Chains A and B, each alone.
Chain A
Amino acid sequence: MKMDFDKWALAAAAVVLAVLPFIASGYILYIVNLLMIYIVLALGLHIVIGETGQFALSHAAFYGIGIYVAGIINNAWHPNLVISVLVAGVVAAGLGYLLGALAIRMRDIYLALSTFAFGEAMQWVFLNWNEVTNGSNGYQMSPAWFFGFELTSDLRAYPFTVLGAALMLWVTVWLSRSQLGAAFRAVRESDVAAQAMGVNANVIKRVAFMCSAAYAGMAGGLYTTFASFIHPESLGFWTTILILIMIVVGGIGSVRGAVIGAVIFGLISELLRQMLSFQEIIYGLILIGFMMFAPRGLFSGRRRTRKAAAATGAGSSGGTQA
C-alpha cells in the first residue's frame, strides 16, 4: 500500500509540475521555486535529525554559506550553474564535517544549543564581513548560466529547481536504503549498540553533519538560480526553526514527511501573508494545534525500536541516553 501511495503521489506531482509553467504566472513559479528549496533543506535536516538523531540547529548557516559561495562564484566567473551548486555544496559539506566534531562531544539539548550558537555566530559573520558578503546591505547576485542559457526569470530557473529537488529526493531515498542509512539509524537508536555492531558512531555523526550541510549548501546554490538578492536576516535561527517545524509536522524520521512538511509549511507561510494582522496568532495556533493533535507528524518515521517506543510521556528526551 505504501509503495503505491508513493508512486501515485510522485506521478501526480510530476504531472502538476510539468504543466504549471504553461498555466501559472511567474509569481506562482517563484513560490514553487521556493518550495523546492525548502524541500531540499528539509531533506537535509531530515538526514541529521530524523535519520541520525543529532539535533543540529545550524542549518540556516550552511544554507547561507551555500548562497554566498554560489553567488560570489556567479558574480566572478559566470560558470555553469551545476558548478556553482556543487561547489556551494562541497564548501558547506566541509564546514559541516568540522562542526560535526561538536556532536561527538555532546548530545541532545547541549548539541542543539551549541549548533544554535554556531548558527548565530555565522549570521553575525554574514552581517559583518563586509568585504565578502556586503554585510547588512545584502548581496546582489547576477543570474546563473546553463550552457549559454541565462536564467533571468523564475520561469527559466524552474526546471532546475524542480530537477534539483527531485535529484536530492532520489539521493535521500537511496541513502536511506543503503548501508550508510542503516548506520545513521543505528546511531540514532543507540551509540553504544551501534559501536557494538561495528559502526564507528563518531565518524557516522560527522558524516551525517556533512551530508546535511551539503544539502543545505546545494539548496543555497539552487536559490541563486532564481533570486538576485540575499540578506543575512533570512539566514538565522528562525529559518532553521522553520525547517525544523517542517520535518516535525511532516513526521520526524520520514522522508515523505520531510517533503510534505516542507510543502505545507512553505505554503502556509506564503498564504498567511494574505491574512494581515492575525498572522502571528494564527501561525502560533497552527503550531500548537499540530503539536497537540498530531505531534508525531503526518507520516510516521521509520519503525521504532521497543526502547524508543517505551520512552514516551513525561517529556523524557533530555540528558544522556543510558
Chain B
Amino acid sequence: MKFNAIRRAAMCMAIAGLGLAPAAQAADPGITDTTIRIGLFSPLSGSGMAYGFDVVNAAKMYYDKVNKEGGIHGRKIELVVEDTRCNANDLVAAVKKLVEQDHVFLLNGGSCSAAVVAAREYVERAKVPFFMLNASGDGALYPPSKYIYGAFSISQYAVGGSVVEFAVDHFKAKKIGYINHDDAYGGWNQTAAEFQAKRHDGVSLSVQSINPSINDVTAPMLKVRAADPDVLLLTTYARPAALIIKKAHELGWNKPIVLTVTGTADLTQLVENVGGAAALQNFYIQDVVLGLPSDPKMQWVYDMYKEYYPDLAAKPGHPQSYMPYGLPPAMTVVKALEDAGPEPTREKVLAALQNFKLETGVMASPVEFTPTDHAAQKSAIYMKFDGQNRELIPGTFKSAWTYTPKQ
C-alpha cells in the first residue's frame, strides 16, 4: 500500500537521524551570568491541590525574597512552574518539559510520594539535581541517589519509627495497634514501625491496613479492639483518621490514640469531624514544624504569606495547612547554590550537599544530609491535644530505621 511505503521511508530517515542527535552540551543549562533557572513543580490542581498549591507559593515567595535581596552571587532566580496533578505520568511529563524544553538548572518539586518515584531514573540519567518539595518520597530516596534530596517534611520511614518510639517511651506500650494505608506510603511507615518495635523487648505491632477511600471503619476498629493494644497509632490521612477516632469513641474504646503528621493537616476541622472534644480525651498528635500557626515563632511565615499573596490570604481555606513545608526545600536550594560558589555547576551544588545541615526556623529539627542519607527530616515531636489546647510532650523522637541495600 502506498501510504505504508511513505511511512517506511519516514521511519528509515528517523532511525538514520538518531546518529545526528545533538551531542550533550558542555556547560550546564539554566545558568547565565545574571540568572539561575529553577523548575518548580507540584500538584496545582485536582485532588492533590491541597498538598502542593500553597507549598509552591511558599517556595516562590522565598525565592522572590532572595531575589529582592540581590540574588545568589549576583544571579536572580528565574522560576518555571509546572503542574503534576499528583500523578506519575504527569509528573514525568512536567519534569521532562522543565529539563528538555525549559532547560532548568535544577529541579525543585514533588508533593506526592508515589508520583515522585516515577522521575527517579530520568533525573539520574539526565544528571539534574532534584530537591523534592514536601513529598516524603521514600521510594526515590532509598537507595540514595547522588541527585535526589527529599523528605523535607519528614520521611515516611521516620514517621513510622518515630511514632512507635514515642508509644514505647511515653506509654510504656507493649502491644501496639497500628492502622496505616495499603499504599506505598503505608508500606514505608509500617516497615520502619516494625523495625522500631523489634528494637524493644516484648513490643509487638498489630497492623490493619486500610484503603484511603474507606467509608466504614467498623472492621479495622473492631479488630484493633479485639487485639487489645495499649495504644493505637494512626498513620492515615485526615478523613480515615477522623472516622477511626469517632468509631473508637462510639465503641467506648478509650486507650491513647496517636495521629501522625499525615493526618493532622486541619486540627480545628478534625475536632468537628470527630463529633467534638469528647472523642479526644486521650489523643496525641505528631508534628514536624516548630510550632502552631498561632505560635509567635511561626509568625514570620504567615506574615510573609500575607505580604506576598494578600488576595489569596483573604480567601477561605488559605493559606493551606501545608504551606510552611515549601520553605525548607527552597532554603536548602538557595544555601546549596550559595555554597557552590560564584561559578556554580550542577556538580558543585551536589558537592555542597554532601554533609549539609541547615536550621530553617520552620521545622522542629534542622535539615540534615549525609553522603548515605538524603532524607532531610527524621525526627518528630508530640503533643497532647484535647480539642482546644496542645500540650507539648518533651523530647524529640527519632526513627532508628536506616537503609540497608538488598543483597
Contact = CB atoms under 8 A, between A and B. Distances in A.
B121 A159 contact: no
Nearest to B2: A7
A170 B87 contact: no
B348 to A, nearest CB: 25
A124 to B, nearest CB: 10
Interface in A1-60: 6-7, 10-11, 14-15, 17-18, 21-22, 25-28, 30-31, 34
Contacts of A6: 3
A229 B121 contact: yes
A190 interface: no
Contacts of B11: 18, 159, 162-163, 166
Interface in A194-247: 227-231, 233-234
Given A162-B11, A163-B11, A170-B1, A27 B101 contact: yes
B139 interface: yes
Q: Which of B82, B90, B97 has the most CB of A within 10 A?
A: B97
A31 B93 contact: yes
Interface stretch (A85-93, A132-140, A257-265, A301-309): A132-140
B120 interface: yes
Contacts of A140: 120-121
A153 interface: yes
B316 to A, nearest CB: 15
B45 A229 contact: no
Interface residues of B, number: 48
Nearest to B90: A273
Interface residues of A, number: 50
B118 A155 contact: no
A58 B7 CA distance: 31
A26 B44 CA distance: 24
Contacts of B21: 21, 155
Contacts of A10: 3, 6-7
Given A229-B117, A231-B88, A277-B45, 4 more contacts: A18-B14, A166-B4, A233-B114, A273-B83
25 contacts: A10-B6, A10-B7, A11-B6, A18-B14, A18-B17, A138-B117, A138-B139, A154-B96, A155-B21, A158-B14, A162-B14, A166-B11, A227-B92, A229-B120, A231-B88, A234-B88, A270-B93, A273-B83, A273-B90, A276-B44, A276-B45, A277-B45, A277-B49, A279-B45, A280-B45
